[in-house]
Structure 1
Amino acid sequence: MFKKILIANRGEIACRVIKTARKMGIKTVAVYSDADRNALHVRMADEAYHIGPSPANQSYIVIDKIMEAVKATGAEAVHPGYGFLSENSKFAQALAAAGVAFIGPPVGAIEKMGDKITSKKIAQEANVSTVLGHMGLIEDAEDAVKISNQVGYPVMIKASAGGGGKGMRIAWDDAGAREGFQSSKNEAANSFGDDRIFIEKFVTQPRHIEIQVLCDTHGNGIYLGERECSIQRRQQKVIEEAPSPFLDEATRKAMGEQSVALAQAVDYASAGTVEFIVDGDRNFYFLEMNTRLQVEHPVTELITGVDLVEQMIRVAYGEKLSMTQDDVTLTGWAMESRLYAEDPYRGFLPSIGRLTTYRPPSEVAAGPMVTNGKWQGDAAIGKHAVRNDTGVYDGGEISMYYDPMIAKLCTWAPTRAEAIEEMRHALDSFEVEGIGHNIPFLSAVYDHEKFMSGNMTTAFIEEEFPDGFDGVTLPDAALDRIGAAAVAMYRVCEIRRAQISGRMDNHEHVIGKDWTVTLSGRVLTAQVEADREGATVTIDGAAFRVEGNWTPGQSLAKLLVNGDPLVMKVALISAGFRVRYRGADLTVRVRTKRQAELAALMPEKLPPDTSKLLLCPMPGLIVKIDVNVGDEVHDGQILCTVEAMKMENNLRAEKKAIVTKINAVAGDSLAVDDVIMEFE
């Protein structure tokens, strides 16, 4: 077995590979840019090697710099992770020329299947059903418009070397095709060093389902079930699960066998993923093959017990697969939530900065388990599992130069409903402060009726959140539970204050039993009776028994309300708490009756008027300014383009106006809410 491997990547996937290598007794080498000098993957590896400036196109995707690190450290093999150089055949060739093993597929397979255009042609030749499209390269924006009209709108404009939602745009008309072509081309060049673009028909109301394959260099190949990846935003996956709630066994078998056959047709060896679009009648169409490890591989590992990274390493070393298709058993259900550094309340724009708090829920190891290629059966199954793949830590920084992923939170349980419930509790317990993040949105999705039913398509977010995300309105029953918990907690705070002031001789008289709770526009009357084990809070005639060990200053309240768990993120504010729970962000005020009467008389504080300003919605780089002072702009017109975390974001006019002042030029780095331009 290899004695030392280098991971040509960063973040959570680098940490993930290091964990398996450590388990196998293999030493690891991390590479890092200026921005990643103090990154978690650098801390975890046995060695670390600096490869250059922060931008990926000056460090992580520069083959010569990675090869320099390989030579300097004496690594025998390289794992590329995903993204960056993972599907770059020139990189694999450079490693082969240096006598270093590539922990991935052969060069020929990468060239044939890693390229989206070539892979479609091969699939067509192999009689695999594919989505209609133009397989040639697109020369310019006008060529994109011409081809889009030939294919028929809507179309998907895609980077040939792309993945992870980068370099992908949906166009519904000629204007969208022009704009999408240029944005896709720019993103592809920045993310992959390859700006080739192609166009295919966009299938409306599809489901995105992919098959995990695993092949060795001895002609053996198996499939490890499927993953449902239909919950996407801007073609970037947000939630994945395994298995799919939509497939039946016959369709799963047909997709799996076809995927293995396609892989073996190009002499594939290693882990790979064949992606399909599946319609409402379970007809499936080949989309592309990712010749690398997928971001969402943990859900497959959780339902099969197979460590895919370990298998990749063993295949690269020349070993045969230790399992056959008959050994593969899908057990239970797994969910994966991608935690992104993006602000759902600002249109999911990237958010960077320091993680002032990063406390994920405790990991729980359970679920199926495979040893020496054999599934261990019911004896290896626990009640649930929680897994968090991450590349950050408390006090670390989220950089503007890379993908905004913070972590991949996964849960496993015997049934889909139980796996969803475990995920809800895990998200409730996940504390992230200092940056914007999408935990509230993820919580909202898991509570959505359509998601719970499994009846969703890739248009789920677009259809269910057409105006973006502005929080969740909780039902009255949930608000009553939160109100009761807030009263019990506030009473603890008041006792603490009374102890400090020396008023504890008769604290029940000092603190009182009658309170008014205001939250989410509701005013509740509450009475509290306390004992050593907890408190009984009566709200408008309904009794709630609240128990727990919460103390003032704790940011996570883990309570039982009438015997059922209630986990909330809380922060003390004047006369109450800021409470975050299941996608809702609430201000909960707990006051005496007289305090509530006086508070009702206070004037409402109005936010400042920013309607005549274009504010930078995220920290980022101004790529270009599309207007000049004196121009009249119209609703929807592009004003400028801001780049952050490898994604270009077009900022548009909200209404008709005249530009009176421009405060930025291309190349400027701006902070959140910096004024880009002014209007009249």
Structure 2
Amino acid sequence: MFDKILIANRGEIACRVIKTARRMGIATVAVHSEADRHALHVRMADEAVHIGPPPANQSYIAIERVMEAIRQTGAQAVHPGYGFLSENPKFAQALEAEGVAFIGPPVGAIEAMGDKITSKKIAQEAGVSTVPGYMGLIEDADEAVKISGEIGYPVMIKASAGGGGKGMRIAWNDEEAREGFQSSKNEASASFGDDRIFIEKFVTQPRHIEIQVLADGDGNCIYLGERECSIQRRNQKVIEEAPSPFLDEATRKKMGEQAVALAQAVGYASAGTVEFIVDGERNFYFLEMNTRLQVEHPVTELITGIDLVEQMIRVAHGEPLSIRQEDVTLTGWAIESRLYAEDPYRGFLPSIGRLTRYRPPAEEAGPTRAVRNDTGVFEGGEISMFYDPMIAKLCTWAPTRSEAIEEMRRALDGFEVEGIGHNLPFLSAVMDHPRFVSGKMTTGFIAEEYPEGFEGVTLPDEAIRRIAAAAAAMNRVAEIRRTRVSGRLGNHERRVGADWVVSLQGQSQAVTVDADRSGATVRFADGAETRVESDWTPGRSLARLTVGGQPLVLKVEKISGGFRLRSRGADLKVHVRTPRQAELAALMPEKVPPDTSKMLLCPMPGLVVKIDVEEGQEVQEGQALCTVEAMKMENILRAERRAVVSRVNAGAGDSLAVDDVIMEFE
């Protein structure tokens, strides 16, 4: 077995590979840019080598810099993770020339399957059903528009070397095809160093289901079931699960056998994924093959018990597969939620900054439940604008899908992240969404269910009452603490009144709190009573309570006159006042936010790629105003209505913070 491997990646996937290597007794080498000098993967590895400035094209995808790190450390093999150099045949060739093992497929398989155009042609020749499209390279936007019209809108514009949603656009008309072609080309060049673009038919009402394959150098190949990846935003997966709630055993077998046949047709070895679009009748169409480890591989590991990274290392070392197809069993259900540094209340735009609090739920593995968190960050660390916004992959496992969902709900409720915008509230909202719970989702789920964006969760009355009871009981504990801190003598509990008014989500509820040593009974004005028990103490940011006999987890932050409480995707300002305070509060005027309707504000930290308008120019509704790049994605900002540009405050190349004024209008 190898003595030392280098991980040519960063973040959570680098940490993930290090964990398996450590268990196998293999030393590890991390590489890092200047921005990642203090990153978690650098801390975890046995050795670390600095390879360049923050931009990926000057560090993580600079082949010669990575090769120098290999020579410097004497690493015998390289695991590329995903993204960056993982599907770059030139990198695999450079390793081969150096006599270093590539923990991935042969160069020929990378070239054949890593190129989306070539892979479709090979799939067709292998008898795999494929989506209609144009397999040739597209030279310019005019040709893209012409081809799109011939295929028929809507179409998918994709980077040939793409992955992870980068360099991908859906176009519904000629204008979107023209813009999408250029944006996809720019993103592809920046992310992969390859700006080739192709176009295929976009299948409406699709489900995205992929098959995990595993092959060795002796021609043995098996499939490890499927993953449902239909919950996507901007063509990037957000929530995955295994198995799919939609497939039957016959379809699973058919898809798996086709995936294996395709892998064998190109002499594949290592772990890989064959992606399919599946329609409502369970007809499936080949999309692409990812010749690398997938982001969502943990859910497959949880239902099969197979460590895919270990298998990749063993195959790269020349070992045959020790697992046969008949050995593969799918046990229970696993769900993965991707935690992104994106603000769901700002259209999921990237967020950067310091993680002032980062406390994931405890990992555990048992016969009836499991929690796993693959991460590459730590409390106090920085989220950079230079890389992918994913912070962690939270996974849960249970014997059934409904139980796995419930485990995920609890895990998300207990996941504390502060200092940046993040999508935890949205993930919680999806777990409670009836369409997700029923398993009846498509890749259009987010666009269809949140057409105006995510604006938080409005909790039902029953949940509001439970949180009101919890807040009243917590407020009593806080008031007792306050009287103690004040230094007053005597029976402090008698100084804390029993009658309170709890206001949240537009409702005010009068309650009476009857406390004892084990908790409190909260009585509402209609006579209903709710028992609240908890060991929460003021200052703790997480409260685990039992309310009405049912568990409730709240993220807690003190505000004037109450708490900021977050639970199940809802972000609530909860005020707990005496009856007299409540009367006076009702008379207070509401603060009106400043008028920014005549300004274009930067919605995320990023770099201005170009300004499309000039001062004095009249713009129309929907017209492109400027393009801002953040975390490797280009974002076109458009006019919301007709106006005249009075002032432009930024130019191409400028770095902007959130809410910086890009331009003003008359």
Q: Same fold (TM over 0.5)?
A: yes
- The residue that corresponds to 2:256 in the other structure is 256
Percent of matched pairs sharing the same residue: 79
Shift of 1:564: 1.0
* Secondary structure of the structure 2 residue equivalent to 1:124: helix
- Amino acid corresponding to residue 604 of structure 1 in structure 2: E
Aligned to 2:404: 419
- Residue 200 of structure 1 corresponds to 200
SS of the counterpart of 1:505? coil
**1:476-625 counterparts in 2 under 5 A?**
476-503=461-488, 505-540=490-525, 541-625=527-611
1:309 corresponds to which letter in structure 2?
Answer: V
Shift of 1:542: 1.6
Given candidates 433, 437, 440, the residue that maps to 2:418 is: 433
Corresponding residue for residue 274 of structure 1? 274
Does the 8 Å CA contact 2:545/2:551 hold for their aligned counterparts? yes
In structure 2, the partner of 1:89 is 89
Q: Do structure 1's residue 410 and structure 2's residue 395 form an aligned pair? A: yes
Q: Which amino acid aligns with 1:127?
A: G
In structure 2, C-alpha distance between the alignment counterparts of 1:84 and 1:502, rounded to whole Å: 60
Which amino acid counterpart does residue 650 of structure 1 have in structure 2? I
The whole-number CA distance in structure 1 between the counterparts of 2:144 and 2:340 is: 31
Map of 2:655 onto structure 1 = 669
**Deviations 1:112-167, CA, capped at 9 Å, x for gaps:** 11110000000111111100000001101111000000110000000000000000
Aligned counterparts, 1:204-215, within 5 A: 204-215=204-215
CA distance in structure 2 between the partners assigned to 1:631 and 1:129 by the alignment: 50
Partner of 1:373: none
| TM-score w.r.t. length of structure 1 | 0.97
Query: For residue 111 of structure 1, what is the aligned residue in structure 2?
Result: 111
> Is 1:310 aligned to 2:310, yes or no?
yes
Q: Deviations over 1:566-612 (max 9, x none)?
A: 00111011110001111111000000100000000011111010001
The answer on whether the counterparts of 1:12 and 1:41 sit within 8 Å (CA) in structure 2 is yes
Q: Return the letter of the residue paired with 2:443.
A: T
C-alpha distance in structure 1 between counterparts of 2:436 and 2:149, whole Å: 34
Contact 1:480 1:539 in 2 (8 A): no
* Matching residue of 2:368: 383
1:60 is aligned to 60
* Matched pairs, number: 665
Could you tell me whether the CA contact under 8 Å between 1:144 and 1:181 is conserved in 2? yes
Match of 1:658 in 2: 644
Asked if 1:240 is matched to 2:240, the reply is yes
**In the alignment, does 2:30 pair up with 1:44?**
no
SS in 1 for 2:462: helix
Partners of 1:223 and 1:325 within 8 A in 2 = yes
1:466 corresponds in structure 2 to 451
Sort the Cα spacing of 1:136 and 1:504 in 2 relative to 1 into closer, same or farther, 3 A: farther
Matched, 1:173 2:173: yes
Aligned to 2:190: 190
* CA shift for structure 1 position 387: 0.3
Distance 1:495 1:671 in 2: 42
CA offsets 1:23-65 (integer angstroms, 9 cap, x no match): 0000000000010000000000000011101000111111111
Amino acid at match of 1:421: E
* CA-to-aligned-CA distance 1:77-102 (integer Å, 9 cap, x gap): 00000000000011001100100000
**2:326 aligned with 1:340:** no
Q: Match for residue 217 of structure 1? A: 217
CA separation in 2, counterparts of 1:488 and 1:334?
36
Q: Cα offset for 1:504?
A: 5.2
Contact 1:503 1:510 in 2 (8 A): no
- The answer to whether the Cα contact below 8 Å between 2:355 and 2:378 also exists between their aligned partners in 1 is yes
Question: What is the RMSD computed on CA atoms of the aligned residues?
Answer: 0.7
- Unaligned regions of 5+ residues in structure 2, if any? none
Q: Which residue of 1 aligns with 2:378?
A: 393
Cα distance between partner residues in 2 of 1:568 and 1:330: 34
Do 2:514 and 2:522's aligned partners in 1 also have CA atoms closer than 8 Å? Answer: yes
Q: Does 1:153 align with 2:138?
A: no
- Please state if 1:27 is matched with 2:13: no
Give, in angstroms, the shift of residue 507 of structure 1: 3.1
Q: Is the 8 A contact 2:126 2:261 kept in 1?
A: no
Residue 486 of structure 2 aligns with an amino acid whose one-letter code is S
Distance 1:636 1:570 in 2: 40
Matched, 1:5 2:5: yes
CA displacement at 1:563 relative to structure 2: 1.8
Counterparts of 1:411 and 1:500, CA distance in 2: 42
Q: Report the CA distance between 1:503 and its aligned residue.
A: 3.4
Alignment CA distance shift 1:82-1:136 (3 Å): same
2:358 match: secondary structure = strand
- Determine the C-alpha separation between the residues in 2 that align with 1:479 and 1:138: 55
Alignment partners' CA distance in 1, 2:343 and 2:489: 44
Q: Is the 1:159–1:195 Cα contact (8 Å) retained in structure 2?
A: yes
Q: Quote the Cα distance in structure 2 between the aligned partners of 1:314 and 1:268.
A: 15
* Aligned equivalents of 1:344, 1:502: Cα separation in 2: 44
CA contact (8 A) 1:516 1:590 kept: yes
Deviations 1:526-583 (A, max 9, x none): 0111111111111232211111110000011111112211001110111100011111
Query: Shift of residue 505 of structure 1?
Result: 2.1
Unaligned 5+ segments in structure 1 are 367-381
Where 1:395 maps in the other structure, the secondary structure is: coil
The DSSP-based 3-state class of the residue aligned with 2:490 is helix
Cα distance, 1:431 vs. partner? Answer: 0.5
Q: Distance in 1 between matches of 2:524 and 2:465?
A: 7
